Amino acid sequence: MTATAPSPARTTATALLPRLVLVLAALLATLFTAATPAAAHAALTASDPKDGAVVATAPAQVTLSFSEKVAMGDDSIRVMDPRGKRVDTGELRDLCSGSVIRYGTALHTGLPNGTYTVAWQAVSGDSHPISGAFTFSIGAPSATTVTLPTRQAGDGPVGIAYDIARYAAYAGFAVLVGSAAFILLCWRRGAAERPLQKLVLRAWVTLTAATLAMLVLRHPYTGSGEFADAFDLGGLKAVLETKTGASLVSRLLLLGAAALFIAVLFGSYARQKPAEDAVTDAATDAAKDSTGGASKDTADDATGSAEEAKELSDLTFGLGVGGTVVAGGIAATWALSEHASTGIQTGIAMPVDILHLLAVATWLGGLTALLVALHTSPALPRETVQRFSRIAFTSVLVLAATGLYQAWRQVGSWSALTGTGYGQLLLVKIGLVAVLVGVASMSRRWTARLATRSDVSRETATAQDTETDTEPQPEPEPVSVPADPERAAQLARQQAARTKARKQRLRNADTDRAGLRRSVLTEAAVAAVLLAVTTLLTSTEPGRAAELEAGRDTATATAVPNRPIKISLPFDTGGQSGKGTARLELDPGRTGANTLHLWIDGADGQPLDAPEVKVSFTLPAQEIGPLPLVPDRAGAGHWSASGVQLPLAGEWRIDVTVRTSDIDQVTVNKNVKIG
């Protein structure tokens, strides 16, 4: 619920709403237009050797460059030869310098020619695991038994379990903070209500259990993806040394402080008489004293009531301040370790993220508490609903402002809003918020009807109370308790059943409250889906990073021709039967892996089974090559080779060497454009 009963001020606000929407849209357009490239998820920006490169000699090391800081271990970069045997030393080299983020690993000496596979894995600065793989060749490409890994870091059953724990943590935080705020700000008597006490305690247990699960699963989540590694104490120690591990441990410590807050809230605070009741008692005692004569006991009672009211006010203030500090600290454990802690303007983004999380928790968690209160307390005061309505409206305003900033920071452009997974999820979230606000307007109407009817009921009740006070009240009939314990227990169960049925009848008879309960239940259902989408957003690569990475891929990609490259090279070795034509086909004729076919025809047009043929590729503009290739004989006058790697686009020179006898050979060449 986000508003109270209609009023002139609200009518004015409604009239200004279209203008406000236009202003926000213009602001959003300006922000997206002025956005500058920046990433939140780390991305691989370069490697040496490059993906698909063919180098003449074995490199001394393999290096990887990233768009931002990452966490890597000694086993984060693995290099395997064509047979799948590791050829790296297993020692990570930190080559970072200034704004350049680069890591590497040394290779063993004396590596033979062939195709090598590099598999890497790291943890981005926003706590999310990233991984990848590529190949390079020494001398010439070759067949390899190593298959590039298809599993991404964070996938699989461990990833699913970790994401479930992440969702449970968000839900537990929202309900814990929102329910406590609902009790302190909207319904102080709720501290003594068992259903609300159970709600807060279960939220605390959920958040604590989810945090422990994330801490235990963190090592396999960012590593092997195997549940068995959750019991690896060495891995747990490594996690505790990371930013994410420190945040999870800090959250557990803050949850200990939250347990103390809950104990006071449902202990001494719940036993205190609400301030308005204490003041009323003091006023009543003073009135009786003025009519019936002064007495020391009456004066002491009035003084005690006033002291109780002050004590409750001080306790409420202390709980409010302490609860805000603890809630803000728990929210900071997300802000300091996830998207807000990386990218641009982190000094602004982290406080904004904390405010965003607190606003979400106050709104959605308070909504859950209101739903429980409406179902368990048929006589819930309408002032409670109105107070929450005002608080929820303020939360929505904070949510909109902080969400607008986060959208600009994480998405960055209109194209990323519609063309990336993060942007599409963000649009879904915006749609769910709009639905939630629409459902809240229904709750507002029910609240207005409830408030109007309550005013009439109060006047009627006051008149009835005036008449009743003049009539003698009958003494309540004593209730006999059977001596038989079993019979007494049976009567107690019957009495409880009658009380429950009476409450149910009262709840169902009040159509306005029943309508309010249904609308609030709908809000809670939409809020649960909204929370799930928010959880997915926290584990999705932001639009800025996705577009930046896609831009790099586009810049390095080359156009694929409509058909393979085919060339014919006449030759003459000078010897007997030394004339002919070499027909070469390169498929698909682009950078990366290609398949080569070579046919040798004699002067008579028949296949010429030459004793030896060789092919090499040279890119003079980049001083690459020659890259030698010895194709395999596929048949009479036919040779072929697969996995021919051409690392860059450009004007390549293809050299074909044909030997027709022990002493007669010739090399012919032709330039072709690749990519």
> 592 falls in which pLDDT band (50, 70, 90)?
confident
- 664 near 578, Cβ under 8 Å? yes
**Topology given in CATH for the domain delimited by 44-138:** Immunoglobulin-like (2.60.40)
CA–CA distances in Å: residue 193 to residues 188, 189, 269, 498, 610:
10, 7, 12, 19, 95
> 179 falls in which pLDDT band (50, 70, 90)?
very high
> In terms of Cα–Cα distance, which of 49, 48, 93, 225 is closest to 150?
225
CA-to-CA distance for 540 and 425, rounded, in angstroms?
Answer: 9
48-106 pLDDT, tens digit per residue, is 888 888 888 888 899 998 877 788 877 889 999 998 899 998 888 888 887 788 899 99
CA-to-CA distance for 600 and 633, rounded, in angstroms?
Answer: 11
pLDDT of 21 reads 42
- 586 near 565, Cβ under 8 Å? yes
Q: Do domains 44-138 and 565-674 have the same CATH topology?
A: yes
Tokens standing for residue 124: 């981005």
The one-character DSSP state at 362 is I
pLDDT of 470 reads 43
Nearest-10 crossing angle of helices 366-376, 156-185? 70
- 621 near 651, Cβ under 8 Å? yes
Residue 508 has pLDDT above 70, yes or no: no
Tokens standing for residue 110: 């004396």
> In terms of Cα–Cα distance, which of 261, 269, 392 is closest to 326?
261
pLDDT of 177 reads 95
CA-to-CA distance for 420 and 437, rounded, in angstroms?
Answer: 26
The one-character DSSP state at 365 is I
Residue 343: what are its φ and ψ, rounded to 5°? 90, -150
CA-to-CA distance for 471 and 475, rounded, in angstroms?
Answer: 13
Residue 241 has pLDDT above 50, yes or no: yes
> In terms of Cα–Cα distance, which of 583, 549, 545 is closest to 566?
583
CA-to-CA distance for 628 and 225, rounded, in angstroms?
Answer: 41
Helices (H) and strands (E) in the chain, counts: 16, 18
Query: Coil, strand or helix: which one is 390?
Result: helix
Rounded (5°) CA angle 185-187-188: 85
pLDDT of 543 reads 55
Domain boundaries, the chain: 8-29+156-291+308-458+505-550, 44-138, 565-674
Which residue do the tokens 């006490």 mark? 197
542-587 pLDDT, tens digit per residue, is 655 555 555 444 444 333 444 678 888 898 888 777 888 999 988 8
- 124 near 106, Cβ under 8 Å? no
619-629 pLDDT, tens digit per residue, is 888 778 788 88
For the whole model, what pTM was predicted? 0.59
Tokens standing for residue 462: 């006051």
What average pLDDT does this structure show over 292-303?
52
191-220 pLDDT, tens digit per residue, is 999 999 999 999 999 999 999 999 999 888
> 388 falls in which pLDDT band (50, 70, 90)?
confident
CA–CA distances in Å: residue 300 to residues 3, 81, 158, 288, 307:
43, 91, 65, 13, 10
Q: Is 111 exposed, middle or buried (0-12, 13-18, 19+ CB in 10 A)?
A: middle
What average pLDDT does this structure show over 349-357?
90
- Where does 573-623 show beta strands of DSSP type E? 579-587, 592-602, 612-619
| CATH architecture assignment, domain 565-674 | Sandwich (2.60)
pLDDT of 14 reads 42
413-471 pLDDT, tens digit per residue, is 666 667 677 777 777 877 877 777 777 667 666 665 655 554 444 444 444 444 444 44
Contacts of 655 (CB under 8 A, 6+ apart): 614, 615, 616, 617, 618, 626, 667, 668, 669
Query: Which helix (DSSP H) or strand (DSSP E) does residue 423 occupy?
Result: helix 421-469
What average pLDDT does this structure show over 483-509?
69
